[in-house]
Structure 1
Amino acid sequence: MILKPPAFGEGQRIGLFGGSFNPAHYGHYMVALFALKRLELDWVWWLVSPQNPLKDPSETGEYAARLASTRAVAKHPRFVVTDIEKQMGSRTTAQTLRGLRPLLPRAHFVWIMGADSFASLHRWHDWLEIPQTLPLAVLARPGFSLRALGGPAATRFAEAQVPTNQAPMLVTAKPPAWCFIPMPLRPESSTAIRRRARAEAT
């Protein structure tokens, strides 16, 4: 299968921001924006996941609606919303990174994730492949920063941590490498938005 990734230039600095985005919200926007600035990125690709294997399909939501909500939120000239995970039929982040291997040598890619995801990274499928493939930028999330910094992934890759004040160096670091990036905390939650929508519908 021939993938149709977003256009990019050789050697550019690109953040990959994956998620279900059910729905996408301003908190996601701020994570992507903060990563863009702190990591000095050229682009942030929003990868809308077809199905999160750690979630019940009923929680993931219909793909076209999630893609549309993400495009509505990711309004920035350096943000690109892509269905590349759907193109490759990927169900996990490790699968996605395998599918992207032909692209990886052409630019400097970094995986953007919230501290909540990093705290539970050890539960992801083939999780050890992920930090071995790309540097990880871990953005602060309410209630999860301490858990992330003391969690299994942080412990396993303790020697690979890049100091926060050297965050731009993460993008060109050889994996494994990760950096915790503090940011103003946002209260938005996709789960809370879905609960509110269900309550308003009853």
Structure 2
Amino acid sequence: MEIGLFFGSFNPIHTGHMIIANLVKETTSVDEVWFIVSPQNPFKKNKNLLHEFDRLDMVNAAIGDDYQFRSSDVEFNMPRPSYTIDTLTVLQEKYPDKKFRLIIGEDNLSSFPKWKNHEMILEHYGLIVYPRPNSEPSDLSSHENVRMIDAPEVDISATLIRKLIKEEKSIKYLVPDQVEALIKSKGFFH
């Protein structure tokens, strides 16, 4: 079974994330997409970042009963900051029967060679890359283990969503309905 791993702070998870996850599942050999919720980086304090368990709850609300999506808190118990290669190694050890692929935005492709053990990620896992606005061209886009997918350039910003919430304006259609309900009931981002 092939699993696409979609890492993010998901602060909050929004419709753009869900569109990309669904397109990866529908247009590649991936059977499931796992949302890997990244914990707070202790070196990058962000007062707008909700607690990791609240963000995991929002991801679970967004997924609902879609059996082809899954959330993961694997990084919550790892040393911080956690590097992608370390998370991939932990997941591969835990699920030796699964083939993992990393889902990243095209805006991260040009800086990908700066990632820790990027060659190992490319060789053993490979990348599924979705388009992002204003992305720099990268030689990696033609690499045999990089799969560029056709998807809309969804430019929904979690920053904008948080700003609208603070201003008590509607976030309808920007986040899944279940996520909006959870944000309202818990008073997130006020």
TM-score (norm 2): 0.74
| Superposed displacement of residue 192, structure 1 | 1.9
User: Tell me, what secondary structure is at the counterpart of 2:155?
Assistant: coil
| Match runs of 1:173-184 below 5 Å | 177-184=145-152
Kindly provide the amino acid, as one letter, of the partner of residue 112 in structure 1.
Answer: I
3-state SS, counterpart of residue 106 of structure 1: coil
Give per-residue Cα distances to partners, 1:77-124, cap 9 Å, x unaligned: 210111112133452212212222314641222111122232432444
Number of residue pairs aligned between Structure 1 and Structure 2: 168
Contact 2:112–2:118 (Cα < 8 Å) also in 1: yes
Q: Counterparts of 1:158 and 1:119 in 2: how far apart (Å)? A: 9
What's the offset of the Cα at 1:53? Answer: 7.4
1:129-172 deviation digits (Å, cap 9, x = unpaired): 4323311000112333xx1xx23xxx2x46624xxxxxxxxxxx
- Distance (Å, rounded) in 1 between the aligned partners of 2:71 and 2:110: 25
- Which residue in the other structure is 1:84 paired with? 74
Q: 1:118 to 1:54 in 2, by over 3 A?
A: farther
Residue 114 (1) aligns with residue 129 (2): no
Per the normalisation by structure 1, the TM-score is: 0.71
Pick the aligned partner of 2:133 from 132, 142, 145.
Answer: 142
Aligned to 1:39: 28
**What letter is aligned with 1:113?**
I
Could you list the runs of 5+ residues in structure 2 that have no partner in the other structure?
Answer: 169-188
Counterpart-to-counterpart distance in 2, 1:122 and 1:59: 29
Unaligned runs of 5+ in 1: 1-11, 162-176
8 Å CA contact 2:92, 2:100 repeated in 1: no
Q: What is the aligned partner in structure 1 of residue 57 from structure 2?
A: 68
* Equivalent-residue separation in structure 1 for 2:40 and 2:109 (angstroms): 19
Q: Please tell me the root mean square deviation across aligned C-alpha atoms, in Å.
A: 2.6
CA 21–119 in structure 1, closer or farther in 2 if over 3 Å, else same: farther
Shift of 1:57: 3.5
